[in-house]
Structure 1
Amino acid sequence: MKYILVLLACCLPLLVRAATPLQPLQIAEQFLARSGWPDMRHYLSGEAAGQARRQSLGQQIPAAVQRRCELLQQGAATAVVSVELRDSVSRSDIYLHFRRDSAAATPWTLAAVRSLAMTQLGPPMLKILADMPPGEVTQYNQKHPDAPHAFMLGNIRLWIGPDADIIEHFRRHQPEFEQAARLIQNRRFFASPLDSTLSGEQAANADAELLALLRPLYISRVTQRTLGSVAGLEFIIGGVTDNTVGLLYQPNAAQVPRMSPERIIMVKPLGKGWYLYKTT
């Protein structure tokens, strides 16, 4: 009898953990693990359930790729986990969107996997620019004074680059970004309501002093209309159609837009009212 009690005492914590539904970050780590995940189907819903019928994402990724999961947001009904994939030559990021059904046996399920779309043109454009001889660079700059060669190289690298590179760029130039934000606020380019800021946006992106700040930062334009964040300033890096990446300055955390797999796939806080974001 004594041995049975000892065995129960050892196994009970394991049984409790097995019966406890996983949280979003735990699900992400299991889904990205190199080994298989027998319980995977219980923690998938929506489009994710249809896409990962036989193998987890971790099984499909080459074993040499390192994966790091970070919880970006977890609320009552939704959660988002950012995943960095990294090997010896490259880094990329994906974003896992979860939803919660309190009545289900496994309340949290992975519903969608997202990444910045339509970046395929970036690498060939970057190669063409990087391989230009000096004479062609001079001609290019003469033909494109508003977006010269050095700006385009830096801008495309950020647009198609990993989150870590954009964050490092922001940290290195945060004083200049803050100076640009103050200039925009002082000149009241976006003082009108959100639905009538086009003229203010045009004025901001034509302001010589502001452009002198933005071009070395590889920012293509400033706006307030992509995310619709009241009093927020959006520093657009790049993208195609609605698939954009940029930096948001929004000192009021309550006004930061919510993430969703349909629109704003990632918002990553950088501190002091600054955020990295991506849309789809």
Structure 2
Amino acid sequence: MRFLIVLLFLPLAVLADESRLVKQFFGQDGIKNKREVYAGEMLEHYLDRPTLGETLPKGIEVSLRALEKNPQREIYAVLLSKDGRSQDWYIYLVNDQNKWKISAVRNLALPGLFFMALQEAQSKANRTKEEEHQYQNMLLTLQLDSELKEFLHKNIDSLNTLALEAKTSQEKATESAKHLNFNFVGYESISGIVDVNIGGILDNSVGYLFVPTGTEVPKMSDDNYIYIEHIVGNWYVYKTT
């Protein structure tokens, strides 16, 4: 009987390790036994590199929330904050023979060209209508997850209208989306999913998804939708890479 009890509680003990591992990766002391707790690309490319936490300035506040948890995989959103500035990261863990290991770490990777354009727009005293749209679009693209969710809540009626318009005309929906400083609106007729793209560059983008009831929400992965989170009703926020 005692042997059976140990077996029953073993998975619970294992499951308690993953959040501690995430905190270690983003902590200043880092991870000493990387070979034991890295998997996939982390094991292949980052064994001899410091963890993200080891490269950060002192005093960074780290908070995390689970985006997905199942026996095989867990994904966490991690918010790093200091002196009123914050940044969102996403970390992927896999269960390898009852041991949790870090397989990938992501954030919205925008190239230097994006920030050069943003700086140029900020420096202009008088922006044209199109320049102002691009400027506001870039600012919205850089919003935190929490801010993106709040933005949708404030503009839910307009977003619902966009979702309806997209079913009949993506062009009309995209034109309407410009008033909210979005990039474009796409519609997938087979699934019924509406993609309200906020902005970004190439495959590194951020936006909202309207997923009809009964339709499967796209899966998160470290090579496509690096972040998907439900907001309200049929609406989700996403980031890609």
Question: Under TM normalisation by the shorter chain, which class is it?
Answer: 0.7 to 0.9
1:29: which partner in 2? 23
Judge conservation of contact 1:119–1:239 (CA < 8 Å) in 2.
no
Is 1:204 matched up with 2:180?
no
The alignment-based identity, stated in percent, is 22
Cα deviations by residue, 1:158-208 (Å, 9 ceiling, x for unpaired): 223322332222222122112222333xxx33xxxxxxxxxxxxx422x2x
Is 1:177 matched up with 2:162?
no
C-alpha RMSD over aligned residues? 2.6
1:247: which partner in 2? 208
Judge conservation of contact 2:89–2:105 (CA < 8 Å) in 1.
yes
Query: For residues 100 and 110 of structure 1, what CA distance do their matches in structure 2 show?
Result: 9
- Local SS of the residue matching 1:258: coil
2:106: which partner in 1? 114
Where structure 2 has 5 or more consecutive residues not aligned to the other structure, the ranges are 1-8
CA drift of 1:87 comes to 1.5
Cα deviations by residue, 1:78-134 (Å, 9 ceiling, x for unpaired): 221111112225221111111223xx251x211001111234223221222222233
Change (3 A) 1:231 1:47: same
2:139: which partner in 1? 157
Amino acid of the structure 2 residue aligned with 1:223: G
CA drift of 1:246 comes to 0.8
1:123 to 102, 111, 115: 115
For 1:66-85, list aligned pairs within 5 A.
66-85=61-80
CA drift of 1:254 comes to 5.1
Which has the greater radius of gyration? 1
1:12: which partner in 2? none
Which is richer in strand? 2
Amino acid of the structure 2 residue aligned with 1:117: A
Judge conservation of contact 1:234–1:247 (CA < 8 Å) in 2.
yes
Change (3 A) 1:211 1:45: closer
Is 1:261 matched up with 2:222?
yes
Where structure 1 has 5 or more consecutive residues not aligned to the other structure, the ranges are 1-15, 142-147, 190-202
Query: For residues 229 and 111 of structure 2, what CA distance do their matches in structure 1 show?
Result: 20
Q: Count matched residues.
A: 230
Query: For residues 114 and 165 of structure 2, what CA distance do their matches in structure 1 show?
Result: 31
When structure 1 is superposed on structure 2, of 125-134 and 29-38 the one drifting more is 29-38
Amino acid of the structure 2 residue aligned with 1:154: Q
Judge conservation of contact 1:151–1:218 (CA < 8 Å) in 2.
yes
CA drift of 1:217 comes to 1.6
1:6: which partner in 2? none
Judge conservation of contact 1:264–1:278 (CA < 8 Å) in 2.
yes
- Local SS of the residue matching 1:129: helix
Judge conservation of contact 1:77–1:99 (CA < 8 Å) in 2.
yes
Amino acid of the structure 1 residue aligned with 2:125: P
Query: For residues 249 and 159 of structure 1, what CA distance do their matches in structure 2 show?
Result: 18
TM superposition score normalised by structure 2 = 0.83
Cα deviations by residue, 1:21-54 (Å, 9 ceiling, x for unpaired): 3443332123222334445542221222341546
TM superposition score normalised by structure 1 = 0.73
2:181 to 218, 221, 224: 218
Query: For residues 44 and 173 of structure 1, what CA distance do their matches in structure 2 show?
Result: 41
